[in-house]
């Protein structure tokens, strides 16, 4: 499928997987709408994209009213959305004794509420697209339970259930829902910094790269997202987590 002229929204689009994907989609000729919390990061990100017509919206996705305002602004400016990538995330990695209500609330607000209600608000625009694809970025932690990650796992399990349920709900209509379940990615997201992950990689730990993940997402988009769930783990990811159970 030719992606030139198609319109995509990427939440979490100012860094990590979101930015890497934006760069690759821009090369394909897509028009990008980047969303993140900080305007400065978004402005810098858009400046790195090839092509023209890209825009950004700063939005605190932890606040539902901000999510609804974001949707209204998008609907005012665009009459169609072809792809929505819900990639914004938050990682809380603490034992239960250290978890605050804010940790829990923000995790679910950003990781579950925002994708759900942004999708709901944008259904009319997605319905006008022949492609009409919603991609939610999940995690292996939404499949494999892990100690010390109850907040993060709960959020990703919820996102997985939500996406798979919506895929059933919209099986015979638009949009098509896709869950991308990923293992560890070489970004600064998570309990380790990017520098620490690079050190671990030198010791032999396997990671997916943002570039590789972006290429896979583009393949999925061009294919029309025929599957509901795509799972990509580094070579030793599942064995590593199974070993610590």
CATH code of the domain containing 101? 3.40.50.720
2 is a domain residue: no
Q: What is the pLDDT of residues 184-201, one digit of tens each?
A: 898 888 787 888 888 888
Dihedral, 36, 37, 42, 43 alpha carbons, nearest 10: 150
Question: Does a structural domain hold residue 100?
Answer: yes
DSSP state of 175: P
| Rounded distance between C-alpha atoms, residue 225 and residue 229, angstroms | 9
Number of domains in the chain: 1
Q: What is the mean pLDDT of the chain?
A: 93
What residues act catalytically?
152
Q: Is residue 190 part of a domain?
A: yes
Pair 55, 35: CB distance under 8 Å: no
Within-domain flag for 108: yes
Using alpha carbons, select from 182, 186, 180 the residue that is nearest to residue 237: 182
Q: Is residue 33 part of a domain?
A: yes
Percent of the chain with pLDDT over 70: 96
HSE-up of 46 (CA within 13 Å, CB side)? 20
Q: Is the pTM of this model over 0.85?
A: yes
Between helix 114-126 and helix 64-77 the angle, nearest 10°, is: 20
Q: What is the predicted pLDDT for the residue at 57?
A: 98
Whole-number pLDDT of residue 244: 47
Tokens of 16: 């990590």
pLDDT, residue 49, reads 96
Q: What is the pLDDT of residues 115-140, one digit of tens each?
A: 999 999 999 999 999 999 999 999 99
Task: Let me know if residue 1 belongs to a domain.
Answer: no
Q: What gap in Å lies between CA 98 and CA 148, rounded to an integer?
A: 10
pLDDT tens per residue, range 20-40: 999 999 999 999 999 999 999
Domain that holds residue 154: 7-243
Using the 8-state DSSP alphabet, how is residue 113 labeled? I
Task: Answer whether residue 160 is part of any domain.
Answer: yes
């Amino acid at each position: 499928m030719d992606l030139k002229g198609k319109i995509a929204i990427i939440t979490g689009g100012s860094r990590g997987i979101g930015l890497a994907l934006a760069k690759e989609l821009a090369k394909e000729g897509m028009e990008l709408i980047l969303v993140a919390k900080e305007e400065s990061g978004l402005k810098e990100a858009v400046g790195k994209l090839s092509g023209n017509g890209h825009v950004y919206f700063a939005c605190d996705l932890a606040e539902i009213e901000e999510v609804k305002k974001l949707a209204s602004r998008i609907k005012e400016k665009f009459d169609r959305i072809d792809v929505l990538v819900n990639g914004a995330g938050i990682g809380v990695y603490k034992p239960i004794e250290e978890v605050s209500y804010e940790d829990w609330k923000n995790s679910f607000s950003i990781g579950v509420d925002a994708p759900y209600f942004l999708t709901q608000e944008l259904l009319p625009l997605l319905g006008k697209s022949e492609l009409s694809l919603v991609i939610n970025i999940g995690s292996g932690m939404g499949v494999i339970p892990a100690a010390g990650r109850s907040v993060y796992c709960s959020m990703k399990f919820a996102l997985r259930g939500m996406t798979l349920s919506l895929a059933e709900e919209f099986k015979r209509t638009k949009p098509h829902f896709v869950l991308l379940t990923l293992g560890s990615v070489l970004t600064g997201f998570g309990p380790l910094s990017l520098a620490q992950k690079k050190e671990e990689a030198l010791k032999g730990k396997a990671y997916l790269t943002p570039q590789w993940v972006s290429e896979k997402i583009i393949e999925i988009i061009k294919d029309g997202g025929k599957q509901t769930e795509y799972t990509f783990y580094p070579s030793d990811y599942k064995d590593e987590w199974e070993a610590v159970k």
